[in-house]
Amino acid sequence: MSLLYADDECLNKPINQARPNMRAVELFQPRAIAQATHIIKPLLVSADIPIEAGELSLFSTHPQTINLITPNQKLITIHRYNSGLSPMGMVLKSSDFDDLLTFLLDGEIPLYQLPTGELKIGLYLISLATHVCQLTLKSHSLINKSDIASLLKQINQPTGLFGELSNNLSGEYPPQLEMLCCTMTNLMNGNADDITPFIGLGPGLTPSFDDIIVGMLAVISGDHRFTTQMRQLKLAFEPLPLDFLTTKVSVSFLTYALQGKFSLLVLQVIKSFEKHNYHHSSIKNLVNYGHTSGSDLLLGIWLGIDRFVLRD
């Protein structure tokens, strides 16, 4: 089966983790494998999936994703095939995902992660011996602002708070978006400002403004001219109590975005814009991502272009 959304350049990379405790592996892994009656091999795994040996907890289940929490409160997301790949996730075949979801919904299931990263979910063992995808943003150069604007003006999908995406491309933005851009500018320039009123603002498992910020970061952090500004922005975010400001899922996406790591769909959209490929399937797939998350991410990408990297 071919992966519809996998970029060959991201595949077969090492997982970004420290060497596991081999004594723990010797003691723990053979017993877990022996107890497993169903071994699942993912189609794709992020190079940055958290690996913390120990008991996991089930955070949430959805038709396209299963979210688990590690002992140190990091998120692991299991994606159904053709629903994207996050920096903290893996992709399963639809049949494997459906079997696992049904199994988890049947009752209390013991969940834990082995020192080597495999997931033990009841009688299921999810291996990491598969394609590994590096989801770090590469340096890019976006120059066709008018072409990108023309494309986005054709998208009538609703955003979380600001109506249809196509109505937010004129350069005159609602006051909250103007304030967000000013706040981001101040923080990137090393000036004191408060971005916390925007974190967690809006509807959704990943609130609208969080998606918008992630979209902005996907543009700004890939432009070499903003290296110093991004360093300042990271410093400004470091003391923020994100866990108290927004959802667990959104904390993960924001944290990874500040490290220059994004979902595969976001990376592919940025790459398609750079290559002037405005009919790439990733654009449509991102538009249809979540209830309004895709439109909010695209709005953030546009703000990053219009107000930062290609500001008139």
Taking only the tens place, the pLDDT of each residue in 40-71 is 999 999 999 999 999 999 999 999 999 999 99
Q: Is the pLDDT at 4 greater than 60, yes or no? A: no
Instruction: Summarize pLDDT for 79-120 with one digit per residue, the tens.
Output: 999 999 999 999 999 999 999 999 999 878 889 999 989 999
Closest CA to 84 of 172, 3, 183, 156: 3
β-sheet bridge partners, residue 164? 158
User: In this structure, is the dihedral angle defined by the CA atoms of residues 107, 63, 247 and 4, taken in order, positive or negative?
Assistant: positive
Dig out the tokens for 257 from the structure: 């975005």
Q: Is the pLDDT at 312 greater than 60, yes or no? A: yes
Give the helix/strand (H/E) hosting 125.
Answer: strand 124-126
> The sheet that has 89-92: what strands, in order across it?
57-61, 65-69, 75-80, 89-92, 44-46, 132-133
When computed from its CA atoms, the radius of gyration of the chain, rounded to whole angstroms, is 20
Distance CA 185, CA 172 (A): 17
Instruction: Summarize pLDDT for 230-266 with one digit per residue, the tens.
Output: 999 999 999 999 999 999 999 999 999 999 999 999 9
Rounding to the nearest 10 degrees, give the CA dihedral for residues 76, 243, 309, 276: 30
Q: Is the pLDDT at 133 greater than 90, yes or no? A: yes
Q: What secondary structure letter does DSSP report for 191?
A: -
Q: What pTM value is reported for the model?
A: 0.91
Residue 203: half-sphere exposure toward Cβ, Cα within 13 Å: 10
Residue 192: half-sphere exposure toward Cβ, Cα within 13 Å: 0
Distance CA 92, CA 77 (A): 11
Q: Quick check: 64 and 150 in contact, CB under 8 A?
A: no
> Which residue do the tokens 């930062």 mark?
308
Look at residue 81 in the predicted model and tell me its pLDDT.
95
Q: Is the pLDDT at 23 greater than 60, yes or no? A: no
Q: Is the pLDDT at 290 greater than 90, yes or no? A: no
